[in-house]
Amino acid sequence: MLTDDFGREVRGVRVSLTDRCNFDCVYCHNEGLGDTRGPMDPQDDEMSTDDVVRFLEVAAEFDVEAVKFTGGEPMLRQDLEEIIARTPDSMEISMTTNGTFLPGRAGDLVDAGLERVNVSQDALDREQFAAVTQSGAYDRVLEGVDAALEAGLDPVKLNMVVFQHTAGYVPEMVDHVAENEGLQLQLIQYMPELTGKPEWNVEIERVHEWLAEQAVGVEHREMHDRRRYWIASDDADIALEGDEECDGVDAIADDPNVGMVEIVDPVENPTFCANCHRVRVTHDGYLKGCLNRNDDLKPMGEMTRPEIREAYREVVADRVPFYGEYMVRSDDGEWELNEKYLETQAEA
């Protein structure tokens, strides 16, 4: 396994299979690659099935343990089942999707080897959902979540971006996962870095505090040092323990009346970046060391194995934590680009 200069082992890869999407979410960072709007048909610049599989085989040589398929909307790829089936057995396979294509297809994905799915669902309210995603596919997404559960995917994580438009729906979404077995919730801090509109930010620490008050257990996940809160539904037979760090989460985790809520809070968070263990792949065959950067892209050329190996070594060698290293605090407390990297940026 390769380790970068900051001691971060690269354990996972996030592969963007396309930058096309059938939604047009108002906040979309498209994994750092610009607009998702455009034609829905397959595009010539997308990696072929064989290219994706060859990349994954090389990643497995470097002991990468997990792959996340994302996009754009990864389910627009009709070869997704084949890609999953041909992914090396040593890797955990998960996907992040808007859920609309899961009905009728979730079972095939599981048969191919998909182990986990995250479905983006920003609200339990049809009108708010439409306003955020600029799509009227609310019922289809709920059907998609059900299809994933029926196909045996466990857990099914709902991804909710917390920003001004959705913050009021957080309590309802938390109750929803506490009451429904098999569901977990990821509250994703709105990231303005690539999309602008910092005025949409909400104070994520307040959400932490609110959840800590409700939780019957709290733990830290190794990845990104994310905090997880275990929330009991009204039917649960558990005494509330407030915000105590709970050693016994294993016991409550299996309780069908308890739901898990994780906060993904990367913005201006050096601890999150210090625990970042994955490399990204763009739909058109570049390696990328950080979501927030586009000045470290490494082309994989014709995607032969030697070219992929070389690009992979290079991207890992160039990886730096975004907050705390690439961006540093100035004397007046503002984040600014570390002068060390100004040269890299100029070359990009």
Residue 112: Cβ within 10 Å count: 16
Rounded Cα gap, residues 180 and 128, in angstroms: 21
Smallest distance from ligand GTP to CB 264, Å? 4
Q: Which residues of 63-95 are buried (b: 16+ CB within 10 A; e: fewer)?
A: ebbbbbbbbbbbbbbebbbebbbbbeeebebbb
| Angle at alpha carbon of residue 243, lines to 242 and 249, rounded to 5° | 95
| 339: DSSP letter | G
Q: Under DSSP, is residue 259 helix (H, G, I), strand (E, B) or coil?
A: strand
Q: Which is nearer to ligand SF4, 24 or 235 (CB)?
A: 24
Residue 280, marked binder = yes
> Which of 58, 148, 252, 276 is close enough to bind ligand GTP by CB under 6 A?
276
Please report, as residue ranges, which positions from 57 to 76 form the binding site for ligand SAM (by CB under 6 A). 70-71, 73
Residue with tokens 């999309």: 195
Residue 298, marked binder = no
Report the half-sphere exposure of 311 (CA within 13 A, side-chain side).
25
> Which of 10, 17, 21, 303 is close enough to bind ligand SAM by CB under 6 A?
21
Rounded Cα gap, residues 81 and 310, in angstroms: 28
Picked from ligand GTP, ligand SF4, ligand SAM, none, the partner binding residue 195 (CB below 5 to 8 A depending on kind) is ligand SAM
Residue 96, marked binder = yes
Rounded Cα gap, residues 227 and 209, in angstroms: 11
Picked from ligand SF4, ligand GTP, ligand SAM, none, the partner binding residue 155 (CB below 5 to 8 A depending on kind) is none
Q: Does 119 bind ligand GTP (CB under 6 A)?
A: no
Rounded Cα gap, residues 316 and 7, in angstroms: 11
Residue 216, marked binder = no
Contacts to ligand SF4 by CB under 6 A:
21, 23-25, 28, 30, 36, 71-73, 98, 120, 133, 266, 272-273, 276, 290-292, 321-322
Residue 326: Cβ within 10 Å count: 23
Q: Which is nearer to ligand SAM, 190 or 217 (CB)?
A: 190
Smallest distance from ligand SF4 to CB 135, Å? 8
Structure tokens at 143: 């059907």
Q: Note the Cα 313 to chain centre separation in Å.
A: 23
Q: Which residues of 206-216 are buried (b: 16+ CB within 10 A; e: fewer)?
A: ebbeebeebbb
Q: Does 121 bind ligand GTP (CB under 6 A)?
A: no
- Pick from 166, 30, 174, 194: which is nearest to 98 by CA? 30
From 47-55, 78-86, 172-180, 186-194, give the range in contact with ligand SAM by CB under 6 A.
186-194
Please report, as residue ranges, which positions from 48 to 107 form the binding site for ligand GTP (by CB under 6 A). 68, 70, 94, 96
Please report, as residue ranges, which positions from 179 to 198 form the binding site for ligand GTP (by CB under 6 A). 186, 188, 191
Q: Does 159 bind ligand SAM (CB under 6 A)?
A: yes
Smallest distance from ligand SAM to CB 5, Å? 27
What is the dihedral sign for C-alpha 178, 179, 181, 186?
A: negative
Residue 37, marked binder = no
The DSSP annotation for 176-243 comes to HHHHSTTEEEEEEEP--TTT--GGG---HHHHHHHHHHH-SEEEE-SGGG-EEEEEE-TT------TT
Picked from ligand GTP, ligand SAM, ligand SF4, none, the partner binding residue 121 (CB below 5 to 8 A depending on kind) is none
What x/- string results for residues 105 through 144 when contact with ligand SAM is judged by CB under 6 A? ---------------x------------------------
Please report, as residue ranges, which positions from 278 to 307 form the binding site for ligand GTP (by CB under 6 A). 291-292
Binding site for [4Fe-4S] cluster, by residue number, is 21, 25, 28, 273, 276, 290
Q: Which residues bind ligand GTP (CB under 6 A)?
A: 68, 70, 94, 96, 118, 159, 186, 188, 191, 264, 266, 276, 291-292
Binding residues vs ligand SAM (CB under 6 A): 21, 27-31, 70-71, 73, 96-98, 120, 159, 161, 188, 190-191, 195
